[in-house]
Amino acid sequence: MIDYLTTMISQLRWVDILDIGIIAFAIYKILKYIQETRAFQLLLGLIVLLVATVLSDVLKLYTVNWLLEGILKVGLIALIVVFQPEIRRFLQYLGGFWLRSTSYLNLEESDTLTNDVMAALKYFSRNKVGALIVFERNTVLGDIVESGIPINADISKELIMNIFYSGAPLHDGAVIIRGEKVIAAGCVLPLTSSTNLSSELGTRHRAGIGVTEISDAIAVIVSEETGAMSVATNGKISRFMDNNSMQKIIKSVFMNEAESERTFFKPFFNRLRGKSNE
């Protein structure tokens, strides 16, 4: 056994190490991506099913083995249909890797943007003004942006407060923020497909959850009835957020922009995206 291991190690090339490293990294990223989704529970179920199939073959349980193999074959096709939103989201995540940031913010700019957004949110919460703000991240929300009115203006508390002012033409839709820009307002979001939500949640909250089911965006919602602030991410919602917790979340979004990795390709893609918004 020791001789066998020694022979394997002596024949190991640096390309083999790179090959193993790439596969390990890919598996790690996939597991990290799906750990908070329905797909993670599905993966655990598939592992149990595969183990049961192998055991039934080893123990010569032919009927059980035949049944399990049939379930696996049909199940793989059904999974593609059932988990189409998750598959689409994952592919968008991969494609959005090169488009992660539209600009490079420094720490001071991140703090300024955070304070502006928080000032507007505190006003909405205090005066029970309904609001829905979506922060675009890796997944490009092009279709959703096109459903609203182009703004493409710098973030400011005055702009956000005017958009959601009661009676304003765009106050019922969502605002999309990309980098340090308010890209669009009055946007229509897809409603969540979940049936396990509280009956207290209205259309605004369900839309906020819905957009995070098809993307990695973060949605911030202010209730018009209670003034309570909520945050939706990965298809889940956290309600009754206090000011400090909300500020940390908003700051983490802008800090992610500020500290994003500057690849060779990003300036090129940024120019393309800038032209597409004109």
Angstrom distances, CA of residue 224 to CA of 126, 197, 227: 10, 18, 6
Query: What's phi and psi for 233, nearest 5 deg?
Result: -155, 140
- My answer on whether 75 and 115 are in the same domain is no
Per the CB < 8 A criterion, the answer to whether 243 and 122 are in contact is yes
pLDDT at 123 over 90: yes
CA 172, CA 167: separation in Å to the nearest integer? Answer: 9
Count CB-CB contacts under 10 A for residue 24.
10
Q: What is the mean pLDDT of the chain?
A: 78
Tokens of 70: 């049939």
Average pLDDT on 149-168 reads 89
- My answer on whether 68 and 142 are in the same domain is no
- My answer on whether 85 and 140 are in the same domain is no
Count CB-CB contacts under 10 A for residue 207.
22
- Residue 184: what pLDDT? 92
- My answer on whether 86 and 137 are in the same domain is no
Per the CB < 8 A criterion, the answer to whether 227 and 243 are in contact is no
Which residue, 76, 73, 74, 86, is CA-closest to 39?
A: 86
Which residue, 241, 261, 267, is CA-closest to 133?
A: 241
Extended strands (E) in the chain? 131-135, 149-154, 174-178, 181-187, 218-222, 229-233, 236-241
pLDDT at 33 over 50: yes
Tell me the per-residue pLDDT of 185-207, one tens digit each, with 9 for 90 and over: 999 998 887 778 877 788 889 99
Which residue, 64, 118, 55, is CA-closest to 247?
A: 118
- Residue 109: what pLDDT? 79
Tokens of 249: 């979340």
Of 98, 119, 141, which residue is a domain's last?
Answer: 98
CA 56, CA 89: separation in Å to the nearest integer? Answer: 35
Tokens of 227: 């003034």
- My answer on whether 46 and 162 are in the same domain is no
- My answer on whether 171 and 259 are in the same domain is yes
- My answer on whether 140 and 270 are in the same domain is yes
- My answer on whether 160 and 207 are in the same domain is yes
What Rg do the C-alpha atoms of the chain give, in angstroms?
23
CATH number of the domain enclosing 110:
3.40.1700.10
- Residue 85: what pLDDT? 63
Tell me how many domains the chain contains. 2
Reduced to 3 states (helix: H, G, I; strand: E, B; else coil), residue 224 is coil
Give 25 or 269, the one with higher predicted confidence.
25
Of 48, 73, 98, which residue is a domain's last?
Answer: 98
- My answer on whether 15 and 91 are in the same domain is yes
- Give 97-133 as a DSSP string: GGGS-SS---HHHHHHHHHHHHHHHHHHHHHT--EEE
Per the CB < 8 A criterion, the answer to whether 225 and 85 are in contact is no
- My answer on whether 28 and 129 are in the same domain is no
- Residue 218: what pLDDT? 92
CA 120, CA 53: separation in Å to the nearest integer? Answer: 56
- My answer on whether 70 and 118 are in the same domain is no
- Residue 101: what pLDDT? 44
Of 98, 121, 156, which residue is a domain's last?
Answer: 98
Reduced to 3 states (helix: H, G, I; strand: E, B; else coil), residue 170 is coil
Per the CB < 8 A criterion, the answer to whether 68 and 49 are in contact is yes
Tell me the per-residue pLDDT of 85-113, one tens digit each, with 9 for 90 and over: 666 666 665 655 555 444 455 677 788 89
- My answer on whether 141 and 191 are in the same domain is yes
Tell me the per-residue pLDDT of 209-252, one tens digit each, with 9 for 90 and over: 999 888 889 999 999 889 999 999 988 899 999 999 999 999 88
Q: What is the residue range of 246's domain?
A: 102-276
